[in-house]
Copies of this chain bind each other. A is one copy, B any other.
Amino acid sequence: MADPIDMYFDFASPYGYLALFRIDAIAGKHERSVNWRPYLLGAVFQHNGQRSLVEQPLKGEYSLHDLERSARLHGVAFKMPEPFPIPTVAAGRVFYFLHDQDEQLARDFAKAAMTAFFADGIDIRPRETVAEIAGGLGADVQACIDATNDQSYKDRLRDETQTAMDRGAFGSPYFIVDGEPFWGCDRMEMMDQWLERGGW
């Protein structure tokens, strides 16, 4: 089997949210597995002096329109949450905690947490909230809360963020396939073609 696709995303990234519901079909078609890698886009933006798309004049308005249109196209429920953007430290730590036990559980958690935020308007900053979401999938709620205070998961999320930055990631979703980077939900079709043709 060929190398997996690395998928970097932030729990508070709306295009990242849409990507979670699109990646399996593309990866499956080309018999690729996917490494789900949440990271902290806030740290990246701070480092690079970037601003969130929706905070920019004109682009912000357009992006909201494009997000709603894209969500309808892909059949994913979406309602721009308030407040936005938010830090996603708790969700990221819980993800890696679950990932160490069960990769599929961690993915289900990512989908559930992002759906809570982007479809149901639930604030996913509190550790209790993300732990409850994980609990709904069968995880131990208290263990999830503990993980958010655990130095090893603090370090893990920080290290994953640093690795992502070192590899050139600056957005969400950001994919790396056989060394080739694809940034954005709107480059997933091109990534699909790249996988189909083995590059060009």
Interfacial residues, chain A to chain B (CB-CB below 8 A): 48-50, 56-59, 61-62, 65-66, 69-70, 72-73, 168, 170-171, 181, 183-184, 186-187, 189-190, 193, 200
Q: Which residue of B lies closest to A49 (CB)?
A: B57
Give the distance in Å from the alpha carbon of A18 to the alpha carbon of B65 in the complex. 24
Taking a contact as CB atoms closer than 8 A, the residue among B61, B186, B193, B200 that contacts A187 in the complex is: B186
Minimum Cβ distance to chain B for residue A176 (Å)? 11
Minimum Cβ distance to chain B for residue A47 (Å)? 9
Minimum Cβ distance to chain B for residue A89 (Å)? 22
Oligomer: number of copies: 2
The answer on a CB contact under 8 Å between B48 and A58 is yes
Which residues of the other chain, B, contact A61 by a CB distance below 8 angstroms? 168
Give the distance in Å from the alpha carbon of A93 to the alpha carbon of B172 in the complex. 39
Which residues of the other chain, B, contact A48 by a CB distance below 8 angstroms? 56-58
The answer on a CB contact under 8 Å between B66 and A183 is yes
Minimum Cβ distance to chain B for residue A135 (Å)? 36
Taking a contact as CB atoms closer than 8 A, the residue among B73, B181, B183 that contacts A200 in the complex is: B73
Q: Which residue of B lies closest to A194 (CB)?
A: B69
Minimum Cβ distance to chain B for residue A48 (Å)? 5
The answer on a CB contact under 8 Å between A62 and B186 is no
10 shortest A-B CB distances, which residue pairs?
A58-B170, A186-B186, A48-B57, A72-B200, A189-B189, A62-B183, A48-B58, A73-B200, A59-B170, A62-B181
The answer on a CB contact under 8 Å between A193 and B65 is no
Which residues of the other chain, B, contact A62 by a CB distance below 8 angstroms? 168, 170, 181, 183
* Cross-chain pairs A/B with CB under 8 angstroms, 6 sampled: A50-B56, A58-B170, A61-B168, A62-B168, A66-B187, A72-B200
Give the distance in Å from the alpha carbon of A102 to the alpha carbon of B41 in the complex. 49
Give the distance in Å from the alpha carbon of A61 to the alpha carbon of B72 in the complex. 32
Taking a contact as CB atoms closer than 8 A, the residue among B49, B58, B200 that contacts A168 in the complex is: B58
